[in-house]
Amino acid sequence: MFKALMLENTDGFKASVTQVDEARLPQGDVTVAMAYSTLNFKDGLAIANKSPVVRQWPMVAGIDGAGTVLESSHPNWRAGDAVVHNGWGVGETHWGCLAEKARLKGDWLIRLPSAFTPRQAMAIGTAGYTAMLCVLALEDHGVKPDAGEVLVTGATGGVGSVAIALLAKLGFTVVAATGKASEEPYLKSLGASSVMDRTTLSAPGKPFQKERWAGVVDAVGSHTLANALAQTRYGGVVAACGLAQGMDLPTTVMPFILRGVTLAGVDSVMAPLVKRQRAWDRLACDLDPALLETMVHEVPLEAAIASAHDLMDGKVRGRVVVRLAV
């Protein structure tokens, strides 16, 4: 038996931390003893039942996990290996990692970078790994630190916090957009040069506005993304990875055809292994573990449900790490 955060929908939705028989674990070629997991936006949606994230019931929540291999029939893994898991539909169609044990596919795993402990890997989680993918998208499209300001929306969230820290270390001038004015000291401690009120971006705006941003990391979507695009400088790049405000995009083609703006979509869930490995290798080089610690709030598994609701209510700053090992 092992503890897991189980989501059920038989006689109405229910989320609970319960004991689960190991015989119920799904098919997979690697069994992992999970040391830590985390709460990402998608986890919050699933646990708080805010969106139809879960596709099969019952479901163990948790798209991320870090731990040690217990058993493996996969050629790349053996007992004792330290591994990290992100995405791949886990917590949606396959039992997830907010549990003391998980059975996964070896092809989904990457080796825990030596620069990080399992706790630090989950302080990064999908949110931080996505932030790195966004930074790589800006770099790959030619955005350099001397090109001008880079905007980060949803700045106090997991993606935003890590993106600010990464971009600042790489020499970019970062402007953080947030609705939490009291968090300005926190955002500047991560490396933001200035902080702006998100309301200047979140309302409907003109399709073409004064040029400002050389690059954008957007985890918000909707009008915020539309306004960011309308303000992006000639040849600039917007990396879009989230939909906290909404999944709509009320914009026009004008930024693309008159300013040559690139909208780069960033997916972390099904990204191929080579892209994942590149992101984690860069995180190991470019993310300061001490700075990472300032973003982290650790909770036991029993507190994860309440923390998920706090995440959905906008009460969480940075990253929530869920402790699974005793």
- pLDDT tens by residue, the chain, 326 residues: 999 999 999 989 999 999 999 999 999 999 999 999 999 999 999 999 998 899 999 999 999 999 999 999 999 999 999 999 999 999 999 999 999 999 999 999 999 999 999 999 999 999 999 999 999 999 999 999 999 999 999 999 999 999 999 999 999 999 999 999 999 999 999 999 999 999 999 999 999 999 999 999 999 999 999 999 999 999 999 999 999 999 999 999 999 999 999 999 999 999 999 999 999 999 999 999 888 999 999 999 999 999 999 999 989 988 999 999 86
Residue 226 in contact with residue 250, Cβ under 8 Å? Answer: yes
- Tell me whether strands 319-323 and 30-39 are parallel, antiparallel or unpaired: antiparallel
Q: How far apart are CA 188 and CA 265, in angstroms?
A: 27
Residue where the block lists tokens 């860069």: 282
What's the CA gap between 87 and 266, in Å, rounded? Answer: 13
Contact present, 37 and 95 (Cβ < 8 Å): no
Residue 19: helix, strand or coil by DSSP?
Answer: strand
> Strands of 2-8's sheet, edge to edge?
14-20, 2-8, 59-60
Indicate left, alpha or beta for 99 from its phi (over 0: left) and psi (-120 to 50: alpha): beta
Q: How far apart, in whole angstroms, are the C-alpha atoms of residue 52 and residue 34?
A: 26
Superfamily of domain 2-112+295-323: Medium-chain alcohol dehydrogenases, catalytic domain (3.90.180.10)
Our measurement of the distance from residue 306's CA atom to the centroid of its chain's CA atoms, rounded to an integer in Å, reads 19
Q: Per CATH, the architecture of 126-265 is what?
A: 3-Layer(aba) Sandwich (3.40)
Strands 173-178 and 149-152: what pairing?
Answer: parallel
Six token digits for residue 271: 């990204």
Longest dimension (CA), the chain: 60
CB-based contact 192:155 (threshold 8 Å): yes
CA–CA separation, 54 vs 93, rounded Å?
7
Q: What is the pLDDT of residues 130-159, one digit of tens each?
A: 999 999 999 999 999 999 999 999 999 999
Residue 40 and residue 16: Cα distance in Å, rounded?
Answer: 18
Instruction: Check residue 326 and give its pLDDT.
Output: 65
- 153 DSSP assignment: S
Instruction: Report whether 276 contacts 129 (CB < 8 A).
Output: yes
Instruction: Decide: helix, strand or coil at residue 312.
Output: helix
Q: What is the model's pLDDT at position 111?
A: 95
Which sequence spans correspond to the domains of the chain? 2-112+295-323, 126-265
